[in-house]
Amino acid sequence: MSSRLKYVSLGVLVLQTTSLVLTMRYSRTLLGEGPRYLASSAVVSAELLKILTCLLLVFYDHSFSVRALNRVLNEEILNKPMETLKLAIPSGIYTLQNNLLYVALSNLDAATYQVTYQLKILTTALFSVSMLGKRLGLYQWLSLLILMTGIALVQWPTESLGGPSSTPLSAGSQLVGVIAVLIACFSSGFAGVYFEKILKETKQSVWVRNIQLGLFGLVFGLIGVFVYDGERVRESGVFQGYNSLTWTVVALQALGGLVIAAVIKYADNILKGFATSLSIILSTLISYFWLKDFDPTSVFFLGAMLVIAATFLYGYEGKRPAISHSKV
């Protein structure tokens, strides 16, 4: 049952990640009337939706008892301030990361973003080794080397291959997108491993942990809204430019946090990162045939294939130590 839950949650994560990237990219490049929605506002909306969803899940776990829900929130959040404060660090980093992803997808096509963002597998692996004491085998280190090579090929300048570039993005905007992705990769690696460490050190409900994360994320997100977009908020309101597509992005982002939490519970952070890389295939196909903002080159395909090969190489190594659980 546990093995089945692990692979079901990983499969859902792949679908959620692909849908989020494509809808976010489409919403940030779609030309429409009126102002475009604020990325900082969407991040706050996603945190609020995540908190409400987790409250409902805790409510469900306690047989829809208001008294039990109130008791859990008091015991696990209000009466344990130091435990709750531990979540401030990953929450602040996740809020930064979520804002960076909007910046990245405003400046990069979905396929290039998806492949480059897989660098978080490397950062997650390094933080897992240093913070959790995980041991990686030869094949896993080799897969990380292949992964870096693949990502480097994906970022290979298209101009050097001859002929004019067909992408409408300028070199400057692409650089902004790549820098945003790189910072997000390091923040994702650290925050993910830190959160995994907290989850596995305590027996607290994963949904309660996500409520704690969401509360801090809401505070950090609101600070971001008024610091970076305060003038625009005063002019047109927090929900300016929102439409059904925007709310879809918000819902997918909120769902993503919960799916990732489930994956960490039933699998581990590095496996989560590798499973996500499988969505590259879907993102590339849809970006090319539907969004039409991506013209793949042979170098891109080579890089993408290396990233996917690294995925399976890690999975092959990961199955071998799973026989014994005595040192978990």
pLDDT at 87 over 80: yes
- Mean pLDDT calculated for residue range 159-177: 58
- State how far the Cα of 190 lies from the Cα of 3, in Å rounded to an integer: 26
Tell me the C-alpha distance between 150 and 118, whole Å: 10
> CA 27 → CA 38, 108, 145, 291, distances in Å?
11, 13, 34, 11
DSSP label of 229 = S
Highest average pLDDT, of 89-103, 169-183, 201-215, comes from 89-103
Question: Which are the contacts of 159, defined by CB distance < 8 A and separation ≥ 6?
Answer: 165
Q: What's the pLDDT score for residue 163? A: 41
Cβ 37 vs Cβ 27: under 8 Å: yes
Average pLDDT, the chain: 82
d(CA 150, CA 144): 10
Lookup: tokens for 43: 């991040």
CA distance linking residue 312 with residue 16, whole number of Å = 20
Q: What is the mean pLDDT of residues 247-254?
A: 93
Arithmetic mean of pLDDT, 143-169: 68
Q: What is the DSSP letter of 162?
A: S
Q: How much of the chain, in percent, has pLDDT values that exceed 70? A: 83
Q: First-to-last CA distance in the chain?
A: 19
For 29-72, write each residue's pLDDT tens digit.
887 777 889 999 999 999 999 999 999 999 998 999 999 999 99
Contact assessment for residue 253 and residue 259, using Cβ atoms and an 8 Å cutoff: no
pLDDT tens figures, 232-250: 999 999 999 999 999 999 9
What sign has the CA pseudo-torsion 163, 168, 173, 178? negative
**With b meaning 16 or more CB within 10 Å and e meaning fewer, what string describes 169-178?**
beeeebebbb
Q: Which of 69-78, 91-100, 111-120 has the lowest mean pLDDT?
A: 111-120
Cα separation of 5 and 267, whole Å? 9
- Mention every residue, 6+ apart, whose C-beta is less than 8 A from residue 301: none
Q: On the CB side of 213, how many CA atoms lie within 13 Å of its CA? A: 28
> Residue written as tokens 């970006």?
287
CB 256 within 8 A of CB 17: yes
Closest CA to 88 of 205, 192, 214: 214
Q: Which residue has the higher pLDDT, 38 or 321?
A: 38
Contact assessment for residue 115 and residue 150, using Cβ atoms and an 8 Å cutoff: yes
Residue carrying the six token digits 């990325």: 39
**Complete DSSP assignment for 79-123:** S-HHHHHTTHHHHHHHHHHHHHHHHHHHHS-HHHHHHHHTTHHHH
Q: What is the pLDDT of residue 319?
A: 46
Rg over alpha carbons for the chain, rounded to the nearest Å, is 20
- The enclosing H or E element of 293 equals none
At residue 163, the 3 state secondary structure works out as coil
